């Protein structure tokens, strides 16, 4: 069975894919195991990514960026990071590019853009976004981190957790309450920068997977932040977050299918070579049926997600379409990787086999960026009207 030919990408996207894949193969893959052991990627790798033009693709050219609004380049990067199995080492790049930078590009005034964007393109300034708190996950309206204005500064107090790029980051978009009495209307976005007094990083969290991706706790104790670091309007932070979540969830769907395809490719190769009872494992009827099912589901998912990318590029992707893509593909990812690990037998449990690492790296997908349950709630509200 031949895969359905994809029509999403043009020649320029495939040329970019080739360049980015070559860089990953030469600069990231050989060191991935060390980064996994270290629990973090070195800042030198960020500088290298910047020097090759892999950071800030959507940043205007006047600030050193790529100046493109074509999301398909970001999708290519997400796919290649997932295909190569270096999600822990390179997922921070995609978060920096596709989740953090849209806030800076869309909300910064000219002074803020000139101050922050060039460094975020070069890799000298690493971005992060801090929404989740120890007692507040998806319920953003009830965050407790506060920012109280005193003249030309905000005094920020509170804490955040599970923050990707939390250790490496230099510019962190923090969701805060500027009006503690309001719910959604009381949320604002403020950029806290490395070196500010009272801004402390906790431990680099020890996770099930994605070990090379630094994920940290952040603590704020009477941090004095200039009002000039406010992103957008005070009290409008929640609405800005909602606008950008669709792209975040779409990116996770793109990556999920790439992981599925990589797992299938590895498993097909393994089951052709591995023999049991005198024949290749892949020739047993149960295994053939299972592989047929998984392959079909991945292809079906690919058609839907490619269409979502097209809609996003046209500015037409809805919140519920992105939520549907996110929960369906990430649930599929966990299914595919788990079944593929099973087909590897005992070797699937060994970390020297990519499928074992993929299993550990994949489990978070149905949790972060909005749990599958929250995604179903978004879709359910949209289709039922309540």
Give the per-residue pLDDT at 27: 97
Q: Which residues contact 29 (CB under 8 A, 6 or more apart)?
A: 84, 86
| Tokens 């024949």 -> residue | 279
Q: Kindly tell me if the per-residue pLDDT of 380 is higher than 70.
A: yes
- CA-CA-CA-CA torsion for 132, 138, 144, 148, nearest 10 degrees? 80
Q: What pLDDT does residue 2 have?
A: 52
Torsion angle of the four alpha carbons 238, 241, 243, 244, in this order, in degrees rounded to the nearest 10:
180
Q: For residue range 123-139, what is the model confidence (pLDDT) as tens digits?
A: 999 999 999 999 887 77
The pLDDT of residue 3 is 65
For the stretch 73-116, pLDDT in tens is 999 999 999 999 999 999 999 999 999 999 999 999 999 999 99
> What pLDDT was estimated at residue 183?
86
Residue with the larger pLDDT of the pair 177 and 141 = 177
Q: CA quadruple 106, 108, 114, 118: dihedral positive or negative? A: negative
Tens digit of pLDDT for each residue in 299-355?
A: 999 999 999 999 999 999 999 999 999 999 999 999 999 999 999 999 999 999 999
**Strand 187-193 relative to strand 215-226: parallel, antiparallel, unpaired?**
unpaired
Task: Give the per-residue pLDDT at 1.
Answer: 47
Degrees, nearest 5: CA angle 76-125-92: 40
Contact between 386 and 368 under an 8 Å Cβ cutoff? The reply is no
273 is catalytic: no
Residue 17 pLDDT more than 70? yes
**3-class SS shares of the chain: helix, strand, coil, % to 5:** 55, 15, 25
Question: Count of alpha carbons within 13 Å of 115, Cβ hemisphere only?
Answer: 13
Residue with tokens 């929640």: 238
Cβ(193)–Cβ(129) under 8 Å? no
Residue of 248, 273, 320, 377 marked catalytic = 248
Question: What residue ranges define each of the domains in the chain, with the CATH number in brackets?
Answer: 11-125 (1.10.540.10), 128-235 (2.40.110.10), 239-384 (1.20.140.10)
């Amino acid at each position: 069975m031949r895969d359905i030919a994809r029509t999403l990408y043009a020649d320029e996207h495939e040329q970019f894919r080739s360049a980015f894949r070559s860089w990953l193969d030469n600069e990231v893959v050989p060191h991935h195991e060390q980064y996994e052991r270290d629990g973090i990627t070195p800042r030198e790798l960020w500088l290298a990514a910047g020097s090759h033009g892999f950071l800030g693709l959507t940043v205007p050219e006047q600030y050193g960026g790529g100046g493109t609004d074509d999301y398909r380049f970001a999708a290519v990067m997400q796919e290649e990071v997932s295909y190569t199995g270096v999600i822990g080492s390179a997922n921070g790049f995609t978060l920096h590019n596709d989740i953090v930078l849209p806030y800076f590009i869309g909300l910064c005034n000219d002074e803020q853009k000139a101050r922050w964007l060039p460094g975020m393109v070069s890799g000298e300034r690493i971005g992060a976004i801090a929404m989740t708190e120890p007692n507040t996950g998806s319920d953003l309206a009830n965050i407790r981190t506060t920012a109280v204005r005193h003249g030309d500064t905000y005094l920020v107090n509170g804490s955040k957790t599970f923050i990707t790029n939390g250790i490496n980051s230099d510019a962190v978009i923090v969701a805060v309450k500027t009006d503690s009495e309001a719910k959604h209307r009381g949320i604002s976005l403020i950029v806290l920068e490395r070196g500010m007094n009272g801004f402390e990083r906790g431990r680099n969290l020890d996770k099930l997977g994605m070990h090379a991706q630094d994920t940290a706790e952040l603590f704020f104790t009477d941090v004095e932040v200039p009002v000039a670091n406010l992103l957008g309007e005070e009290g409008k932070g929640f609405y800005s977050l909602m606008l950008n979540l669709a792209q975040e969830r779409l990116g996770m769907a793109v990556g999920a299918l790439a992981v599925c395809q990589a797992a299938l490719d590895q498993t097909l190769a393994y089951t052709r070579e591995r023999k049991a009872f005198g024949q290749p494992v892949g020739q047993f009827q149960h295994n053939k049926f299972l592989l047929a099912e998984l392959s079909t589901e991945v292809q079906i998912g690919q058609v839907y997600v490619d269409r979502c990318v097209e809609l996003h590029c046209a500015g037409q992707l809805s919140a519920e379409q992105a939520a549907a893509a996110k929960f369906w593909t990430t649930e599929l990812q966990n299914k595919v990787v788990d079944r593929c690990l099973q087909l590897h037998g005992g070797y699937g449990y060994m970390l020297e086999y990519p499928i074992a690492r993929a299993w550990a790296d994949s489990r978070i997908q149905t949790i972060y960026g909005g749990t599958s349950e929250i995604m179903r709630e978004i879709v359910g509200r949209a289709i039922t009207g309540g």
